Structure 1
Amino acid sequence: MRRSETEDGERTAEARGDAERAGAGRAWVRGSHGPHGPRRPRALMTVAMCLCVTLVVGMVSAVNLAIPDLSAGTLHPSAEAVVWVVDGYVVVFACLLVPAGALADRRGRKGTLLCGMGVFAAGSVVCAAAPGVGALIAGRMISGVGAAAVLPTTLALLVEGLPDGPRRKAIAIWASMTGLAAVLGNVGGGAAIEYGTWRTLFWAVVPPALGALLLAAAVTPVTARHPRPAAPLGSALLTGGFLALLYGIVSGPQAGWGSPAVLGALAVAAVLLAAWARHGLRAAEPLLDPRLFARPGVRAGAVGMAALFTGMFGLFYLNGQYLQYAKGYGPLGAGVRLLPMAAALLAGPRCGLLLERVCGRRGTVVVGMFVLAGGLGTVSAADARTPYALYALGAGLTALGCGIATPLLSHAMMAALPADRAGTGSGLQSLARELGSALGIAVTGTITTAVFTARLPASLSGPGRPTTVAAAEARTPDGRVRAAVVDAFTDGLHMATLGLAAGVVLAALLIARWIPKETVTRDGGKGR
């Protein structure tokens, strides 16, 4: 009896502390005055968080514009190495998101954010000075560690202490920036490469990263820490399991699905993830409780965002290569021609709000996913002779669909979790997004390379055949052969985008069954 009374007292005290912290957060949002003077405007913190998000997400797409320059440079990477240059960052980013979000909840969100930005900048320096492909991939992974600490923490800081209405608006802004950053990364990356090399891209990101760190240090408040254990075993099992899984997925097509390395990686992934689930079910304070996935909002949000970003970032992997190889634009010209995607991403949430009034949340999410799949289907028809306007339409529809569905899926997941798990919740949804991004890049790169190498002209086929467009073009001065090389690449683009579109449609059918319907409450508002 005494133990029960003590536990009840502890829970009551914790609930009282949470209420006090929430009240303090609401007061800070209103711009009230505290004992140390006026609170900093929330708008400045929103700017700082958006700048951090833009940098860490933008570097995924910015590197895609560097693929032609990198492939033709002195490092001479293979197609598999190019995928890992892009995906090495995303894989580490994805695998450490949930541990980083949980660490921020337990050890302080502001400190975690600042450390993450510092590590991200350091990794960019390693990439810029890399003497070989291995060092370049290592630098990308270091940056991925920092990015994992940044992304979930920014959302948790933005929603701290907000009531439902402003909370939804903050989530929508954050979700829009994560998509918009990918397009802005194309323009910034294209400009850096146009007037320099791929190394210039990494040097150029260091000053704004340090600037974002200083701004965040100045305007971000110190939030309460939640006194829970850091769950190192759960973190290790989850991270190791996903690393092994993604290694198997990325390496399978090149090494062979039946190779010992791939089979071993998939077996290790299965064992580690099963051990993580068992540990989470038994632990008093798990890193990520597997029972959360029994909640329809969490399950729908995770699967839906993974599918959306598989399609989005699969297309991002192809955009720069298509516009440079097939259409002949320079890096900056290619980046500028992707700006319609930014406009579509900005319009997406507004269109989603209008559609929600007519179709409801479930219908709007499904419509958004179908629009994205339709955009990928439109892109699949592109070749070297396709007008840019048609390609821009397909890319714009892809971005519009992502913009429509992402905020609603994000809110469904965050609303299904308790307030004191904001960091873990945002880490979970970021995990779904980045795993989708990593999978999209890996699958797209694999399919495109397989079709490309299979359809190369006879003079370039056989043992030792090139695996990148740049390597193939370097081997022949014949204009007709070079045109055939580009056609082989666009054949790969066709197969990859059709596969991505089919995957998004299948996911949309699952989401239609899982996502909770909204109900009308007595006061006329909407509930879950």
Structure 2
Amino acid sequence: MSDALRSNIPTIDVPSSPPQTPVRRSAILTVMVSCAALVFSLGASLNLAIGRISTSALHPSATEVLWIVDTYLVVFGCLLIPAGAIGDRYGRKLAMLAGLACLGVGSLLSATAATVPMLLVGRVIAGAGAALILPNSLALLLHIYPADQKSHAIAMWTAMTGLGGALGNALGGLVMQFAEWQAIFAVSVPFAMIGFLLTAWLAPRQAGHQHPIDFLGAGILMLGIFALLTGLIEGQDQGWASAEVIGSFGAAVLILALFLWSSAKRKHPVVDPRIFKTPGLRAGMLGVTASFIGMYSMFYLNGQYLMSVKGYPPLLAGLAILPLVAVLFWVSPRSVKLARHLGARTVVTVGLALLILGLGLLRLCGPDSSYWLFALSICVVGVGIGLSNPVLSTAIIGSLPPHQAGVGSGINSFAREIGGALGVALFGSLLGTALPSYLPDSLADAPSRAKQTVGAALAYVDAVPALSNQVHVVREAFAGATAQSLLVVMLLLGVATLVVALWYPVSPKEPRGG
């Protein structure tokens, strides 16, 4: 293999801060990646509390439950890129401190909320804090690490953001085993406080650039992303062909087109549309989005499979995905080094292929299969994500100029957020559509609501004595619907992998940036 093919990893050219001791750099790295993991943990842990919230004293409607879960994700997704720009302008440490304060206050409000509106307010504040934390934690790391170690920092940060979702599921299971739903939010408060204090103590101050922030462009971008995420979320509930969903997607296309048009005419846009001509950035965004579609399809499946099909209690269901945590933690830091030897495009392509293979193994998991098949499946998925994501993130961030490291981190984080939302929406819709056709004829007269999820179908069977012998049949039906739905996801990821391989640059002469 030629040297060009071996070294096609973009140079991350973010200027480093005054020299930090290795011990201090390691301490800052630990704090930043832990804060990033907290952001994803808070989003994932709530999935195991949905049932408790639905039957709580808040008495939320089905739509309100949906928005209790998704408000955090929508605000988070809308603000990611503008929040990165704020860090670039006013300093990443200040942005981190503001984000951790908002996350703590929002979590406290959510934990003590006596009404649904107050809970939603808490989720909005926490989501804004998360958006400030995620891109600026990575941008701050790029600021303190020397050039030859920046890729290592990206790999560790990438590993912990992936781990955050898995750890959030485990934490959610632990909390729900012994406490009420409010504890899901309450446990985040001390972690946010500790992160705030350690960031204030350890992180160096950095002067921001003097370019004005394009607030109008940021506002247009946020509206476009809001319309896109609203369509993805409401599609599962309203139906993908409903006027509301089609209108949301149509509005998203028009608003984002307006954003690109207006940004091309501004001297200092929040995102310069010309960066999307860079092959590395396009490949990185598509690859990260595709990998998170696969990972969040798996996360959506895990809880239902482990608890409803295998009968695991919440705590055991959370612990059952810990092998994924271990694999991600071990593989991710080694991916960039491997890419330098084998070529970045090779490592990315193999990683995405392993992700698809892992989802294929998940298709074999049923009510009678061994846990070890499930563990093997999620480990293969973890190897694939651990290999591909750090290299893809390096390509994205390396495509922007040094003073826009926060925006680059925001674009990278936004690709993850969109991938996660698409994964849940796509797989949830596919599974909900396929399951009724796999259910036994004995449930033909069941209400449509009882056929939408395996949990609802099992609850209906349990409530009708004449159907008590159909429990295993319903679980088999879920396995069949899962296999069909995962096949569609695998085919889409296969196409995405081919496009990423075609787009990913094979020359080491990448645009420098960071």
TM-score, length-normalised on structure 1? Answer: 0.86
Query: Residue type matched to 1:28 in 2?
Result: P
- Of 404, 409, 429, 1:426 maps to 409
Following superposition, the deviation at residue 96 of structure 1 comes to 1.0
Once residues 487 and 332 of structure 1 are traced to their aligned partners in structure 2, the CA distance between those partners, rounded to angstroms, is 24
Structure 2 residue 293 is the aligned partner of structure 1 residue 310: yes
Matched, 1:251 2:234: yes
Partner of 2:487: 498
Whole-Å separation in 2 of the counterparts to 1:85 and 1:453: 27
Paired position in structure 2 for 1:3 = none
Q: Percent identity?
A: 38
State the alpha-carbon separation in 1 of the partners of residues 304 and 55 from structure 2: 12
The aligned counterpart of 1:507 is: 496
- Distance in 2 (CA, whole Å) between partners of 1:424 and 1:89 is 20
- 2:7 equivalent in structure 1: none
- 8 Å CA contact 1:310, 1:437 repeated in 2: yes
3-state SS of 2:20 partner: helix
Give the letter for the 2:339 counterpart: E
Going from structure 1 to structure 2, the CA distance change for 1:88 and 1:467 (only over 3 Å counts) comes to: farther
Pairs within 5 Å for 1:178-193: 178-193=161-176
Match 1:47 to one of 3, 9, 30: 30
RMSD (Å), alpha carbons: 2.8
- Classify the secondary structure of the residue corresponding to 2:107: helix
- 2-side partners of 1:335 and 1:128: how far apart? 21
1:266–1:344 distance in 2 versus 1, CA, 3 Å: same
Q: Does residue 1:102 correspond to 2:85, yes or no?
A: yes
2:19 aligned partner:
28
Kindly state the Cα deviation for residue 486 of structure 1 after the two structures are TM-superposed. 3.4
* 1:31-430 paired onto structure 2 within 5 Å: 41-70=24-53, 84-131=67-114, 136=119, 139-349=122-332, 352-353=335-336, 355-356=338-339, 359-430=342-413
Distance 1:384 1:71, change over 3 A: farther
2:71 aligned partner, one-letter code:
G
For the structure 1 residues 472 and 41, does the alpha-carbon distance in structure 2 shift closer, same or farther, using more than 3 Å as the test?
Answer: same
For 1:448 and 1:138, locate their aligned partners in 2 and report how far apart those are by CA, in whole Å.
31
- Note closer, same or farther for the CA distance 1:61–1:492 as it changes in structure 2 (3 Å cut): farther
1:351–1:163 CA distance, 2 compared to 1 (3 A): closer
Is 1:461 paired with 2:446? yes
1:179, CA displacement in angstroms?
1.1
For residues 258-303 of structure 1, what are the alpha-carbon distances to aligned partners after superposition, in whole Å with 9 as ceiling and x for unaligned? 4321222122111110110011100000000111010111111111
Distance of 2:323 and 2:508 partners within structure 1: 36
270-279 or 105-114, which deviates more: 105-114
Residue pair 1:65, 1:335 contacting (<8 A) in 2 also:
no
- CA pair 353-240 structure 1, distance change in 2 beyond 3 A: closer
Task: Evaluate the alpha carbon distance shift between residue 460 and residue 482 of structure 1 in structure 2; reply closer, same or farther with a 3 A threshold.
Answer: farther
- Native 8 Å contact 1:71 1:468 kept in 2: no
Check whether the contact 1:360–1:518 (CA below 8 A) recurs between aligned residues: no
Deviations 1:346-387 (A, max 9, x none): 232355357535631101100000000110111122221121
Rounded to whole Å, the distance in 2 between the matches of 1:383 and 1:460 is 25
1: distance between equivalents of 2:377 and 2:54?
A: 26
Distance change in 2, residues 1:303/1:81 (3 Å)? farther
- Count of residues in correspondence between the two structures: 494
- Contact between 2:152 and 2:336, CA under 8 Å: does it hold in 1? no
CA displacement 1:399-426 (0-9 Å, x = unmatched): 1100000111111122222211111111
Structure 1 residues 350 and 22 mapped into 2: Cα distance closer, same or farther (>3 Å)? Answer: closer
Unmatched 5+ residue regions in structure 2? 1-12
Q: What CA deviation, in whole Å up to 9, does each residue of 1:468-524 have, x standing for no partner?
A: 444444443343244344344434432332222222211110111111124499xxx
Q: What SS class does the counterpart of residue 28 from structure 1 fall into?
A: coil
The one-letter code sitting in structure 2 at the alignment partner of 1:515 is: Y
- TM-score normalized with structure 2 length: 0.88
